[in-house]
Amino acid sequence: MIVGTGTVVNVATVLLGSAVGVLAGNRLPSRTRDLVTDALGLVTLLIAALSAVAVTDPALAEEVGSHAPLLIVLASLVVGGIIGSLLRLEQRVESLGGWLQTRLSGASDSAERARFIEGFVTSSLVFCTGPLTILGSLSDGLGHGADQLYLKATLDGFAAIAFAASFGWGVAASALTVLVVQGTITALGAVLGDVLSEAGLAAVTATGGLMLVGVALRLLRIREIAVADLLPGLVVAPLLVSAVAAFR
């Protein structure tokens, strides 16, 4: 199996699902599209809860102690949020979405532009912060197969249909984010080998789960959390696990 095939398939399913969603969405009334977005928010909340439960992973507790996992996740979000805010990641992602919208469609309508950016940002976060993104990409890079990414590709394809029905072509543009993020993790796996311990992976999964809660709150129009600013927390989490374990 060629390394990177899983990411290529994932990009293809996002693009295909987006095309189907746009065609379907144009035939749906606004009220129905809003309901679809609400349903996606609820499902994202469920996925977030299942991921966040990783904070109770026995391997993580054994590595850092029974009381440290929650503090590690909290510190990861806080430190990651500070780093992301200083780097203005949310603003940069939105700017990238606006640039892509201008390049791809050339439309200048402010409402359409905002819809494109929201679709791009939301889809990018949902497709790239789940545990399968890291697990599947590392497995692919290590030469262990891309089965997990094939599963993720299927899920993302169906999610892209629903997202695109509400947000339009901005969802298709998120395929670029999938390519860059998963391609980078796959390359790191191929170069560095098995770089993430089971405990570190549990911390990353739990931290990513809470970030998905932020995505769900955006989809449900409860609160606009700058989730992209929190993304450095995914790097901070395994570093904190290693640091705490070293000082035990």
Position 168 scores a pLDDT of 86
Task: Write phi, then psi, for 28 (nearest 5 degrees).
Answer: -105, 140
Asked whether the predicted pLDDT for residue 1 surpasses 70, the reply is no
Q: What angle do CA 63, 64, 65 make, to 5 degrees?
A: 105
> Smallest Cα–Cα separation from 15: which of 26, 3, 7, 5?
7
Reading the block at residue 143, the tokens are 């030469």
Per domain, the residue ranges of the chain are: 5-247
Position 43 scores a pLDDT of 83
- Going from the C-alpha of 229 to that of each of 81, 209, 234, the distances in angstroms are 5, 15, 11
Asked whether the predicted pLDDT for residue 11 surpasses 90, the reply is yes
Q: Where are the alpha helices (DSSP H) in 26-53?
A: 30-52
Position 162 scores a pLDDT of 84
The model's pTM? 0.78
Average pLDDT for the chain: 85
> Smallest Cα–Cα separation from 68: which of 194, 206, 214?
206
93 pLDDT tier (thresholds 50, 70, 90): confident
29 pLDDT tier (thresholds 50, 70, 90): confident
What does the chain come to in residues? Answer: 248
Reading the block at residue 56, the tokens are 């109770």
Task: Tell me how far the alpha carbon of residue 45 is from its chain's centroid.
Answer: 13
Lowest mean pLDDT among 45-54, 91-100, 189-198, 218-227: 189-198
Distance CA 127, CA 146 (A): 16
> Smallest Cα–Cα separation from 8: which of 180, 161, 130?
180
For tokens 């129009």, name the residue: 221
198 pLDDT tier (thresholds 50, 70, 90): confident
Distance CA 53, CA 111 (A): 38
Amino acid at 71: L
Angle between helices 198-219 and 30-52 (to 10 degrees): 160
Task: Tell me the per-residue pLDDT of 94-146, one tens digit each, with 9 for 90 and over.
Answer: 888 777 777 766 555 677 788 888 889 888 888 887 667 877 887 788 777 78
Amino acid at 198: E
Q: What is the mean pLDDT of residues 77-95?
A: 91
For tokens 């060629």, name the residue: 2
Contact 164, 21 (CB under 8 A): yes
Lowest mean pLDDT among 14-28, 93-107, 137-151, 181-195: 93-107
